[in-house]
């Protein structure tokens, strides 16, 4: 039976929501008592507007300040009422004023660290609730995938990926991306999606990225391809490894780091790639290239000695 490949969806991915800290994306529906990390402003269950974690922390902080201020005020009042003489009355009044002002000064001075203390306490206390909320978000993404709504599905999985670094989330994102027509102008990621073991879907995605956005193919990605090279050759052929070795020629540092790997595929590189390598080797004669330099020289002598582009490398 012939398997007909399903056509990829041509869609526009939205830009990622950026915050200084990851936790700032957390929000809560006060009615459903459920957290969410998605971009949506309203709760999908009840329609109520989400309250951001920072507002929750601020209100806890405000309430605490208010309670403490009332307590101090009561203490001062008791002091004044219970004062037997006018002198002690003044004394408790002055003590009260000093007490309140130092309380205000201390609170203002330590406001930021106090704020983070309250936040930490809240995150710890609501840990299970946050987990359940992210699970709910994750189910929404699953439903989107089932309904073929890939753009919102990817959007959700990307936000979830900021909180959960598991292979499962990474691969779910990659699988959605593999069903989309990828373009260079899209806000794509690669390094953050590398799983902890060999995964065919990830390699398929990485090879697509190699075609449209080479700079995303970083050192870590090249190292992943080297680590799982046997499986990759089995599933995607040797050309995929040659292409990855070719991308390592982008930077002098990468060439040094992966010189053995590059050396293996030297004769398979297209002329422009090999010329680029020769240029780098030639302009950095003092760098340590190992046997790569020798092998490149030999290849120039055998294959390119008549080529005018390689004239200056022929010794
Ligand atoms: Zn709700």
CA distance 238 to 213: 21
CA 142 / ligand 1 centre spacing (Å): 19
| Tokens linked to 151 | 């753009």
Structure confidence at residue 129 (pLDDT): 96
The predicted structure's pLDDT at residue 134: 96
Domain edges within the chain: 52-125, 237-315
Ligand 1 centre distance from Cα of residue 158 (Å): 22
Taking the centre of ligand 1 as the mean of its atom positions, its distance from the CA of residue 197, in whole angstroms, is 38
Can you give the three-state secondary structure of the chain, one letter per residue?
A: CCCCCCCCECCCCCCCCCCCCHHHHCEEECCCCEEECCCCCECCCCCCECEEHHHHHHHHHHHHHHHHHHHHHHHHHHHHHCCCCHHHHHHHHHHHHHHHHHHHHHHHHCHHHHHHHHHHHHHHHCHHHHHHHHHHHHHHHHHHHHCCCHHHHHHHHHHHHCCCCCHHHHHHHHHHHCCECCCCCCCCCCHHHCCCCCCHHHHHHHHHHHHHCHHHCCHHHHHHHHHCHHHHHHHHCHHHHHHHHHHHHHCHHHHHHCHHHHHHCHHHCCHHHHHHHHHHHHHCCCCCCCHHHHHHHHHHHHHCCCCHHHHHHCC
Predicted pLDDT of residue 315: 66
At residue 13, the pLDDT reads: 84
Q: pLDDT value at position 171? A: 97
Instruction: Please give the distance, rounded to the nearest whole angstrom, from the Cα atom of residue 231 to the centre of ligand 1.
Output: 46
- The pLDDT, as a whole number, for residue 5 is 57
How many angstroms is it from 133 CA to the middle of ligand 1? 11
Binned average pLDDT, 10 residues per bin, the chain of 315 residues: 66 84 94 95 95 94 87 84 84 84 85 89 96 97 95 95 94 96 92 97 97 94 97 96 93 92 93 92 87 92 88 77
Ligand 1: distance of its center to the CA of 132 in Å?
14
* 190 close to 221: Cβ distance less than 8 angstroms: yes
Query: What is the Å distance from ligand 1's center to 52 Cα?
Result: 13
């Amino acid at each position: 039976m012939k398997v007909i490949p399903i056509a990829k969806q041509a869609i526009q991915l939205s830009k990622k929501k950026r915050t200084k800290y990851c936790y700032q994306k957390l929000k809560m529906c006060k009615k459903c008592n459920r957290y969410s990390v998605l971009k949506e402003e309203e709760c999908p269950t009840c329609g109520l507007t989400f309250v951001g974690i920072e507002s929750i922390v601020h209100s806890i902080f405000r309430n605490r300040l208010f309670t403490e201020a009332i307590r101090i005020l009561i203490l001062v009042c008791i002091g004044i009422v219970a004062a037997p003489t006018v002198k002690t009355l003044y004394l408790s009044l002055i003590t009260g004023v000093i007490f309140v002002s130092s309380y205000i000064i201390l609170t203002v001075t330590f406001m930021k660290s106090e704020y983070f203390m309250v936040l930490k306490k809240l995150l710890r206390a609501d840990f299970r609730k946050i987990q359940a909320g992210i699970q709910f978000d994750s189910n929404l993404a699953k439903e989107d995938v089932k309904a073929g709504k890939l753009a919102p599905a990817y959007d959700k999985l990307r936000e979830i990926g900021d909180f959960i670094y598991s292979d499962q989330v990474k691969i779910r994102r990659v699988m959605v991306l593999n069903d989309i027509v990828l373009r260079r102008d899209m806000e794509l990621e690669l390094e953050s999606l590398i799983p902890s073991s060999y995964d065919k879907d990830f390699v398929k995605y990485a090879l697509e990225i190699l075609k449209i956005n080479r700079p995303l193919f970083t050192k870590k990605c090249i190292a992943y391809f080297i680590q799982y090279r046997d499986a990759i050759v089995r599933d995607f052929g040797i050309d995929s490894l040659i292409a990855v070795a070719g991308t390592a020629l982008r930077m002098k540092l990468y060439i040094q780091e992966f010189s053995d790997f590059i050396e293996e595929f030297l004769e398979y590189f297209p002329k422009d790639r090999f010329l680029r390598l020769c240029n780098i080797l030639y302009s950095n004669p003092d760098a340590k290239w190992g046997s790569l330099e020798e092998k490149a020289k030999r290849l120039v002598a055998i294959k390119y000695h008549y080529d005018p582009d390689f004239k200056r490398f022929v010794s």
